Amino acid sequence: MTLEKNPDWWRGAVIYQIYPRSFQDSNGDGIGDLAGITERLDHIAALGADAIWISPFFTSPMKDFGYDVSDYCDVDPMFGTLADFDALVSRAHDLKIRVMIDLVLSHTSDQHPWFGESRASRTNPKSDWYVWADPKPDGTAPTNWLSIFGGSAWQWDARREQYYLHNFLTSQPDLNFHNPDVQVALLDAARFWLERGVDGFRLDTINFYFHDQHLRDNPPLPAAERNDRTAPKVNPYNHQMHLFDKSRPENLEFLKKFRAVLVPYGAAAVGEVGDSERGLQIMAQYTSGGDKVQMCYPFELLQPARVTAQDIEATFAQLAAEAPDAWPCWSYSNHDTVRHITRWNLSDAAAKTYTVLLACLRGSICLYQGEELGLPEAEVAFEDLQDPYGIEFWPEFKGRDGARTPMIWEGGNGLGGFTSGTKSWLPVTAPHLARSVRAQAGDPASMLEHYRAVLAFRRAHPVLATGTQRDLRTSGSALQFLREGDEGLFCAFNLGDEDHAISLPEGSWQAIGTGLGGQQVTQHSVTLGPWQFCLARRV
């Protein structure tokens, strides 16, 4: 089935992220796969999502679990076959769910044939496809650039007697986007999947594509300005201003080329902006003007500290100043962060209010698998860790495995219905089993039914997806704003533990969303208790 052609389908869309290793195992080997995703698409349709984003399933040695690609145009046997992928797309489209896949363009695996050829000599046809540089006269690395995964971002290669750049693992060499042939090859890979029916892409580390050709050192970042939004606090990566190893201006022209590839297919892209100092500014650059990617998500709502009313106000004020037409894609959790229920220490009441807030903010939405169940971060013992990031910085940083454990479909066999085998690739934890899909479905007080109701409410009020947003203001822990389009909606949230009295704008208002837990309006005001909200329609 072909979905209705709508080049603006992405605007305000709800995108459900699937981590394929952990969604559903169809063959009993303890690892999720494409056929398993197809089996569970009905759950996503019932939730009310518009699209899915599938994390990488390409051929890979799995040093970084698929984010180290060795073949952009095939499926790793672990996950199935191209025929399995085609069946997934067909079933998703039957359910009116669009399919986005995760393209990792900034780097490949060191097992990719391109890198094998590139490292063989300094004169072969692909010798310049990766970022190679001579050592300094004393033999040390060409620059002071650091890897997000720890240590120098340069690795010595004895074959060429040069260093190659890797912003992540040493087994993930960075492609040289200054070489036009590299750009052509990557755009061709995107076309391959578009021809197979995908509706768009999530672009991993979108601001890491280009490096400074002059190989200038990054300046230090003053201690007072450091934060842990991009890398954990214990990582020295946070000690630099990343001016020259990423977020380079040349990227804008490549993103225009990428957009041109998307246009004939009515496809869309959402980029991951990994920059804790200039994330909103970069997002504005990459999504404004209608000629680059449609949306990006920065880390403002993925931050370690609980998002406050003032954080929301400051974020949207900066967005308005940078580029009013920029389009954000907001999320609280994903496969790289501690789940927000744990990260922000949320009660169920607080988590439900944050869900309604997410649905009301201007922008598109990404939900992460298991978020709709209210799953906390799983505790994974060191001996069970798979993530090289966590192994490197343990125990101060436990890595990303706690957010990547299997999806919980039922409470029965101790593996949550994820696999028919005897063991899953990451352990299923007891606190998760009590929050299974089966246990929550049909229970109006459950987190799952709350998410379903919130997404149904958003769909019933298109102004929340595509309307304008104005008059955003805060008072203490209270946040309020207007959404306007084919109707006018007033939205107010108390993101704290004290009561707040809020005055509604002039006019007549009728409370809506009471089925979600929203408060009634008394004349022209409403008092919100801790973690309460109010939604009202202009009449």
Q: Which sequence positions are flagged as catalytic? A: 204, 272
- 316: tokens are 């949207």
List helix spans (H) across 409-469.
430-433, 437-440, 447-460, 463-466
- The residue among 175, 363, 209 whose CA lies nearest residue 280 is 363
CB atoms within 10 A of CB 243: 16
Spatial CB neighbours of 187, under 8 Å, sequence gap ≥ 6? 257, 258, 261
Ranges of beta strands (E only) in 371-477 are: 468-475
- 149: tokens are 């995964």
Per residue, the 3-state secondary structure of 454-476, as one string, reads HHHHHHHCCHHHHCEEEEEEEEC
> What is the rounded distance in angstroms from the CA atom of residue 61 to the CA atom of residue 38?
24
Q: What letter represents residue 371's amino acid?
A: E
Contact 201/267 with Cβ under 8 angstroms? yes
Q: Is the dihedral of CA 89, 95, 98, 102 positive or negative?
A: negative
Contact 18/54 with Cβ under 8 angstroms? yes
Beta bridge partners of 52: 16, 99
- 475: tokens are 């008072």
3-class secondary-structure state, position 364 = strand
Q: What letter represents residue 397's amino acid?
A: F
Q: Torsions phi, psi of 433, nearest 5?
A: -60, -30
- 262: tokens are 């998307």
- The residue among 209, 203, 128 whose CA lies nearest residue 162 is 128
Q: Helix crossing, 309-322 with 279-287: angle to 10°?
A: 40
Rg (CA), the chain: 23
Q: What stretch of H or E contains 502?
A: strand 500-503
Q: Torsions phi, psi of 187, nearest 5?
A: -65, -35
